[in-house]
Amino acid sequence: MRPEFHFTAASGWINDPHGITHRDGKYDAFFQYVPDRTDWAPNCHWGHAHGVDLLSLHELPVAIAPGEGDGGIWTGSLVTGSDGGTRIFYTSTSEPDIGIGRIRVATPDDDEWILWTKGSFVVDAPTDLDLIAYRDPFLREDPDGWRMFVGAGGVDGTAMALSYRSDDLEAWEYEGVALSRSTAETTDVWMGALWECPQIFDINGRAVMVSSVWDNDVLHYAGYAVGTYTHGKFTATRWGRLTYGDSYYAPSLFHDAEGRACLSFWMRGIGDESAGWASAHSVPYLLTLEGDTLIAVPHPDLDKYRTGTPTRDIAGLAADITWTPDESGLTIESAGVTVVALVRKNDELTAAAGDKTWTLPFSSDVRIILDGPVLEIASAGGLFAAPITPQGAGLTMRGSNSEIAGHALNR
């Protein structure tokens, strides 16, 4: 069973989305990819997909593959400079020390971004820091030049985003630590010992950092900081947790057709080993700030796939549901079997699917996206996702609350 509105590769393993770019009315989306297997391996490639939105991507040939000095092609970002030239900056890894990567550049050979040529290694881990990990470059253009932030973790348990500056995207100067936090700190939220994919951006004049939270080879969740940013330095005034459950990881920032900040996530636990594919990407999320809280809501592109009038009975297995939680809860069934059961208690929801149960915060109304084996739940309290196993060809919502509105999703 494949999802219809969540990107999956035809075969093989995928994880981090990255380099998502809107141009000429369509999206290019890249992703970390391991062909010919359904579990992760260090010899990652950059896969490539294209579509009118991130809900209807079709897979293209591999963009960048190992070789020519790269054992693995890990996460990075894509930018187009003032000279009109497009560049991918990616993490090049080599065994045995795959934790400490090198940052390398690649440029496209054609306008469709199908073929890429590898260039030089532009950044290496600084020698004055005792690091256990160094990877995942993210770029932004500032008034005083380009900035590159690279995720790092110190032997002492300090998670860091390291800052580099360039005038021309060619020569890079190390500026130091843009933002850091010890794994011993827990105020607001614990942020781990390494930030994978740290990304610093702006929402309505406020500075935000979003990252994946890693500790001792365990992938936890997506967290964030809100604060101020200037000249490659970020000062956090609040830390927050964005995702819950075991599925979401590796958020990837992109700007949509209107220039708004958005995120897409890698979704763990989705896949079909017998069919030869593993992992999916989330629906895209539009970001806003309410005070010092980062809010993510399903992107408006999803709305155009809604069909019919709101109903509690959906003919297919893809649905977009709005629910105002109450004490009676909500149960979603397929062929008479519970797919997910949601119960509210005070400011928390308990979600039960299969033999697993999770607790997550919520605020205000809740959006529930179901798409075959994928469940996503969004509210102002955060995001939650999990794999599910529908048994039939339709969905039925049960609950006493009249504020349940379900729309089928169809192409």
* Pair (215, 127) in one structural domain: yes
Residue 291: other Cβ atoms inside 10 A:
9
* Pair (132, 28) in one structural domain: yes
Looking at 301, 326, 352, which one is the last position of a domain?
A: 301
Q: Averaged over 156-165, what is the pLDDT?
A: 98
Residue for token pair 């979003």 = 210
Give per-residue pLDDT as tens, 69-83: 999 999 999 999 888
Q: Averaged over 97-101, what is the pLDDT?
A: 96
Per-residue pLDDT at 327: 83
Inside any domain, residue 241: yes
* Pair (395, 251) in one structural domain: no
The count of domains in the chain is: 2
Domain of residue 348, residue span: 302-409
Inside any domain, residue 2: no
Two structure tokens written together for 384: 């939650």
CATH of the domain at 48: 2.115.10.20
Q: Averaged over 96-125, what is the pLDDT?
A: 97
Looking at 269, 301, 333, which one is the last position of a domain?
A: 301
* Pair (89, 163) in one structural domain: yes
- 208-227 in b/e burial notation, b at 16+ Cβ within 10 A? bbbbbbbbeeebbbbbbbbb
Q: Averaged over 198-216, what is the pLDDT?
A: 97
* Pair (238, 318) in one structural domain: no
Q: Averaged over 168-173, what is the pLDDT?
A: 96
Looking at 260, 276, 301, which one is the last position of a domain?
A: 301
CATH of the domain at 375: 2.60.120.560
pLDDT higher than 90, residue 316? yes
* Pair (245, 339) in one structural domain: no
Give per-residue pLDDT as tens, 388-405: 999 988 999 999 777 788
Ranking 269-273, 314-318, 397-401 by mean pLDDT, the lowest is: 397-401
Residue 95: other Cβ atoms inside 10 A:
9
Inside any domain, residue 7: no
Residue predicted with more confidence, 309 or 6 = 6
* Pair (244, 354) in one structural domain: no
Most confident of 229-238, 304-313, 354-363: 229-238
Inside any domain, residue 1: no
* Pair (223, 360) in one structural domain: no
Per-residue pLDDT at 119: 98
